[in-house]
Structure 1
Amino acid sequence: MLLEPPPTHLLEGASLFLDFDGTLVAIADRPDAILVDAGLPALLRQLVERLEGRVVLVSGRAASDVRAWLGPLDITVAGSHGLERPGAPAPTATATQAFQPLRDLTQRVAGLLLEEKPLGAALHYRQAPEAEELCRAAVTAVAAASGLAVQPGKMVFELKPAGGDKGSAVTAIMAEPPFRGTRPFFIGDDLTDEHGFAAAAALGGAGILVGEPRTTAATFALADVPAVHTWLAQAAEALA
């Protein structure tokens, strides 16, 4: 079933949760090669003001990484799939030796990229799609040895602490002011965002899927990153 774009008045009295890669910025071959639109920080600043602070960036990246890309911006960031967020206990960093088998794999297979994070790692195979099953097996083995959980994504397998997902982050944040009592809307593109869509719907809001149609917990859809920017600008104007 094809989903319709969300109405621009949707955010009135609501809370807004935004994925980063694939939603606010286009996915690049490497995580450090993304391009941030020059107008994005100002657009986010406007949304934060008009929603009275009820805007959260929920990313698989470390929170510090997201902030580095956006510059000085007073906005809530929930990094590492929501495990890094204000008010949450500081998670224990994963021992870096756990990822040595994945480092070794990237040395043997051209095109693979290991992105190491404070609380996990991501093995990207965008430039070596034929290595998908090899990557899946390697990450599954590391997960079994380390106690981490595997999260598939777009041309990537991530390792992260068990029990941490974007839906749990939405639920926890929505229990606190100024979010409590509002309807949450979650915009995202990847499989990791499905938890966020489901949590938003359970709390009276909805998910907004970015990109190609698929089976999803989202209620609405936007075609791509430029469509997200356009809709956010229109929604901000409707809040004025």
Structure 2
Amino acid sequence: MTDTLPPPPSLDSLIVEGPVALFLDFDGTLVDIAATPDEIEVPGDLVDRLHALCERMGQRVALVSGRALDDLETHLPALTVCRAGSHGASRLFADGRRLGKEPEGLPDAAVDRLRAFAEGRGLLYETKAHGGAVHFRKHPEMRDEAVALGRDVAAELGLALFTGKGLVELVRPGANKGEAVRAFMENEPFRSARPVFIGDDTTDEDGMDAAAQLGGFGITVGERENHVARYGLDSVGAVHHWLGL
């Protein structure tokens, strides 16, 4: 749990030791989680603060989100920071150049089954550019049934399954936040830096694991079981404070 993990050393002290690369989840890390994806409250100056952080870090900052990039950029307009959406499958450099191939969307058969399940039970189905998610945050009693459906569809159609706080999501194979970390770390200005991944959910553990394998570490946010992170921060506010946002 987070309360058993020590807080990380200050970012300033890490920078003194050598170049650091920051990989940041969005929901639950930079903004508080809301009942639905569209209900999040994003500080009006968050983009400016992220740009200032990026400048301070020598441009070695990347957002790595489960959201599709177009959705992420709706909440962070005019963002010029490296970013990866759809659980790391869709990646852009700060100037908008693509890193790797554009991932495919879900097959129609998967979309139809997920949407029918959600609509039949009063849940929210979210269409994503490279996946689809059933949200059950408002109906936690539906978690087991939603996860079971996701597993069945993923197995039948050869898709990847993610389960997180209040949702089950399907994407094409290869969507992995750890792969996004590795992809950015192979390129300048990230190459040879010490990677630090900050996230709050199970889907972030792949990113933390990749950071650890590359000589860095993970920081988990909030009180949840975590087998990968080295350090913990209590809240979104604590993340902002640690980052100097």
| TM bin (shorter chain) | over 0.9
**5+ long unaligned stretches in structure 1:** none
Contact 2:105 2:171 in 1 (8 A): no
Aligned match for 2:116, one of 104, 111, 131: 104
Q: Determine the structure 2 residue equivalent to 1:84.
A: 90
Aligned-partner residue type, residue 25 of structure 2: D
Indicate how the Cα distance of structure 1 residues 207 and 10 shifts in structure 2: closer, same or farther if over 3 A, else same.
farther
Describe the SS at the equivalent of 1:164: coil
Give a deviation string over 1:100-155, Cα, whole Å, max 9, x none. Answer: 12211222212x11111111111111111111111112212221232211111112
Q: Determine the structure 2 residue equivalent to 1:231.
A: 242
Aligned match for 1:30, one of 15, 28, 36: 36
Structure 1 residues 145-160: aligned runs within 5 Å: 145-160=156-171
Q: How many residues align?
A: 233
Contact 2:119 2:125 in 1 (8 A): no
Q: Determine the structure 1 residue equivalent to 2:95.
A: none
Distance in 2 (alpha carbons) for counterparts of 1:144 and 1:115: 20
Structure 1 residues 9-20: aligned runs within 5 Å: 9-12=12-15, 13-20=19-26
Query: Is 1:211 equivalent to 2:217 in the alignment?
Result: no
Distance in 1 (alpha carbons) for counterparts of 2:116 and 2:74: 29
Q: Determine the structure 2 residue equivalent to 1:6.
A: 8
Describe the SS at the equivalent of 2:218: strand
**5+ long unaligned stretches in structure 2:** 92-97
Q: Determine the structure 2 residue equivalent to 1:192.
A: 203
Query: Is 1:139 equivalent to 2:112 in the alignment?
Result: no
Indicate how the Cα distance of structure 1 residues 10 and 159 shifts in structure 2: closer, same or farther if over 3 A, else same.
farther
Aligned-partner residue type, residue 162 of structure 1: P
Distance in 1 (alpha carbons) for counterparts of 2:166 and 2:195: 28
Contact 1:99 1:142 in 2 (8 A): no
Describe the SS at the equivalent of 1:187: strand
Give a deviation string over 1:32-71, Cα, whole Å, max 9, x none. Answer: 1111022322221111101111100000101121112111
Distance in 2 (alpha carbons) for counterparts of 1:104 and 1:215: 33
Q: Determine the structure 2 residue equivalent to 1:21.
A: 27
Q: Determine the structure 1 residue equivalent to 2:48.
A: 42
Aligned-partner residue type, residue 218 of structure 1: A
Distance in 2 (alpha carbons) for counterparts of 1:226 and 1:149: 32
Could you list the runs of 4 or more consecutive aligned residues of structure 1 that deviate by over 4 angstroms after TM superposition? Answer: none
Distance in 2 (alpha carbons) for counterparts of 1:61 and 1:204: 27
Per mean C-alpha deviation after superposition, the further-off stretch among 186-195 and 46-55 is 46-55
Give the percent of matched residue pairs that are identical in Structure 1 and Structure 2. Answer: 47
Contact 1:153 1:190 in 2 (8 A): yes
